[in-house]
Amino acid sequence: MTTFKGKGVYGAIALGKISVFKRKEASVKRVHVDDIEAEKARLAAAKEESARQLSEIYEKALKEVGEANAQIFEIHMMMIEDDDYNESIQNIIETQSVNAEYAVAVTAENFAEMFASMDDAYMQARSADVKDISNRIIRNLAADDVDSGESDEKVIICADDLAPSETVLLDKDKVLAFVTAFGSSNSHTAILARNMNIPAIIGAGEDFLKAIHDGDFAGVDGYTGEIFIKPDDETTSRLKKKKKEDEDKKRLLQELKGKENVTLDGTKINIFANIGGVDHIGAVLANDAGGIGLFRSEFLYLESSDYPTEEQQFAAYKKVLESMAGKKVIIRTLDIGADKQVDYFNLDKEENPALGYRAIRICLTRPDIFKTQLRALYRASAFGNLGIMFPMITSVSELEKIKAICEEVKAELKADGVAFSDDVELGIMIETPAAAVISDRLAPMVDFFSVGTNDLTQYTLACDRQNSKLEEFVDTHHEAILRLIEMSAKNAHEHGAWIGICGELGADTTLTEAFLRMGIDELSVSPTFVLKVRDAVRNIDLSK
Ligand code: PEP
Ligand code: MG
């Protein structure tokens, strides 16, 4: 048995086989070939296999995410048959007597560059598509089937680190647990693990990567942050027992369903849930959340290979609002950038992405993207109780611009005769120290604040939330953070706004009493933490 210790980011136990996460990248070498016809035949076979896989993926996507989202794979199937693309590959093989992999890679690069340099945003986005289909052909040339290694058995995914876009694409029904060598507990990957309700450990260390092999049996303790590779009998039975106790405890919490979030002395609070997509609603309802306090809408963009259209977004928002049947649903506008990268945005590489071009800064400089989202949101508002929230606010002038754009969108919808609700609450995230410090100026302009403690922590303590080396310096209970929250709560209430917390700290039950004493009105947490926080609230007595 070998044991590694990292940081548990979702407490639960798992036992099962390891699956080492393979990044789907192909490295290509230039190789001289004598038999050009044989090379062309290899290429034809790989193309045929790629087309077959794409049609399978298209059918799966059609069933799971609908026609609009599946369309991209139809485009990929067409691209694979494109004459110019194919002629270029054939020419390179014939004129340079090189291997097909190399010819495909060079063609992909040339075409991707050509697309990226076009003025039209739609054509620019094709740059990522041509790379995608080319990588598929290259993998098939190497007879490395994309889907190989996937089995029906649930596995413990082990990786160096996982990007949010990689996590979101994993088949959730096949993941028992995550363990990564690097990563940090406030990363979006950790947040996704909590949303997925599976044990997760980050920062198991570099040596962990050398010790993992596909198919090896392992035990994961998300409470202690330990992973046991080939555990001995005693450890296995201890983990089995702990797993059962854990499940029993979580079952007990189920008895709190339908009960109020009220303290012993009668103070009530809202406990809402955070989601990253429409498919998390089941968990929200199953855990009896009073509403949705944060819908991270950027995951619609992360899951897509092109800008989601107004119709696609409208359908997703409408579905969430309808499913919540009149309960509050707060949808946060696009928060892309930093660790949440999307190829088709073609964002420049930055020295300090967390301090860079992200979130509202993108929306305010690319109003086409922002207005498409706002139109979809306001249209969906006719189907439920919507609140719209804006991320990464640092100034009054940003908020003035945002509100003016909202008015423009509403006027356009009115002119088009499109229905929308007049009661949409507007709020901002308090996730920069600047917003907290000027919260007295911002509060009169909004209906609510929602404190994003994940970013507020990184900016207040000057600790990059992605940097695993800084874990020991990140004191989430730091007085500076708590003071900023308290100051924001006071200013919100003085100006008639309400205030919630939607960062991960909202689920830290050692702080629930402190938050209630500050007057926090709402805590929005991963669906799996709703009942745990309700339990904490019901055991607090503020009269003492
Ligand atoms: C936060 O920063 O606390 C937050 C809720 O937003 P995100 O984690 O998506 O940045
Ligand atoms: Mg944030």
**Residues 188, 109 share a domain:** no
Domain with 411 in it:
268-537
Same domain? For 470 and 446 the reply is yes
DSSP code per residue over 384-439? SEEEEEE-S---HHHHHHHHHHHHHHHHHHHHTT----S--EEEEEE-SHHHHHTH
Q: Are residues 77 and 53 in the same domain?
A: yes
Q: Please check whether residue 246 lies inside any domain of the structure.
A: no
Q: Is residue 155 part of a domain?
A: yes
- In angstroms, the CA 211 to CA 228 distance is 11
pLDDT value at residue 146: 37
Higher pLDDT, 340 or 381: 381
> CATH no. for residue 167?
3.50.30.10
Residues 74 and 54 in one domain: yes
Which of residues 141, 166, 195 is at a domain's end? 141
Cα-based distances in Å from 454 to 161, 381, 458, 506: 19, 28, 7, 10
Same structural domain, 210 and 294: no
What percent of the chain shows pLDDT beyond 90? 68
Lowest mean pLDDT of 60-64, 239-243, 341-345, name the range.
60-64
Q: What is the pLDDT of residue 144?
A: 44
pLDDT tens, residue by residue, 44-54? 999 999 899 88
From ligand 1's centre to the CA of 336, what distance in Å?
11
- pLDDT interval class at 244 (50, 70, 90): very high
Three-class SS of residue 331? strand
Query: Would you say residue 41 has pLDDT above 80?
Result: yes
- What length is written for the chain? 544
Kindly report the CATH number assigned to the domain that includes residue 89.
1.10.274.10
User: Per-residue confidence at 148, pLDDT binned at 50, 70, 90?
Assistant: very low
Confidence of residue 422 (pLDDT cuts 50, 70, 90): very high
Q: 228 and 293 share a domain? A: no
387 lines ligand 1 (CB under 6 A): no
Residues 152 and 284 both lie in one domain: no
Question: Which domain CATH number covers 342?
Answer: 3.20.20.60
Q: Report yes or no on 442 lying in a domain.
A: yes
Query: What are the backbone dihedrals phi and psi of residue 14, each rounded to the nearest 5 degrees, phi first?
Result: -140, 145
Q: What is the mean pLDDT of residues 418-446?
A: 98
Domain end marker among 211, 235, 259: 235
Inside any domain, residue 30: no
Residue 419: what pLDDT?
A: 96
Verify that 166 and 115 share a domain, yes or no: no
Residue with CA closest to ligand 1 atom 6: 452
- The pLDDT, as a whole number, for residue 18 is 95
120-129, 369-378, 533-542: which range is least confident on average? 120-129
195 in the same domain as 70: no
- Quick check: helix, strand or coil at residue 292? strand
DSSP β-bridge partners for residue 425: 387
Q: What is the pLDDT of residues 280-292, one digit of tens each?
A: 898 899 999 999 9
Q: Does residue 350 fall inside a structural domain?
A: yes
Looking at residue 152, its pLDDT comes to: 67
State the catalytic residue, choosing from 76, 158, 188, 463. Answer: 188
Residue 19 belongs to what H/E stretch?
Answer: strand 13-20
pLDDT at 145 over 70: no
Q: Which among 154, 35, 170 is positioned nearest to 99, based on CA atoms? A: 35
Task: Give me the mean pLDDT over the 16-34 stretch.
Answer: 81
The CB of 454 under 6 Å from ligand 1? The reply is: yes
Pair type for strands 217-221 and 226-229: antiparallel
Strand partners, 389: 332, 427
User: Do 317 and 210 share a domain, yes or no?
Assistant: no
Please state the rounded mean pLDDT for residues 408-435. 97
Q: How many domains does the chain have?
A: 3
Q: Are 80 and 51 in contact (CB under 8 A)?
A: yes
> CB under 8 Å to 206, separation ≥6 — which residues?
181
Q: Is the domain of 62 the same as that of 171?
A: no
Which of 210, 235, 260 is a domain's end point? 235
249 occurs within a structural domain: no
Q: How high is the pLDDT of residue 365?
A: 95
Residue type, 43: L
In a domain, 262, yes or no: no
Q: Please check the confidence at residue 153 and state whether its pLDDT lies above 70.
A: yes
Q: Ligand 1 within 6 A of 194 CB?
A: no
Query: Which residue did the predictor score with more confidence, 73 or 175?
Result: 175
| Average of per-residue pLDDT across 521-542 | 96
Q: Is residue 220 part of a domain?
A: yes
Q: What pLDDT shows up at residue 69? A: 62
User: Which atom of ligand 1 has the smallest separation from the CA of 274?
Assistant: 5
Cβ neighbours for 405, distance < 8 A, ≥ 6 positions apart:
367, 370, 371, 374
What does the alpha-carbon distance between residue 117 and residue 187 come to, in Å, rounded to a whole number?
33
Q: Tell me, what's the pLDDT at 100?
A: 94
Give the pLDDT score at 147: 41
Query: Are 133 and 154 part of one and the same domain?
Result: no
Q: Looking at 158, 363, 463, 502, which residue is catalytic?
A: 502
Say if residue 185's pLDDT is above 80: no
Task: For ligand 1, pick from 280, 301, 431 the residue to mutate: most ligand atoms within 8 Å of CB.
Answer: 431
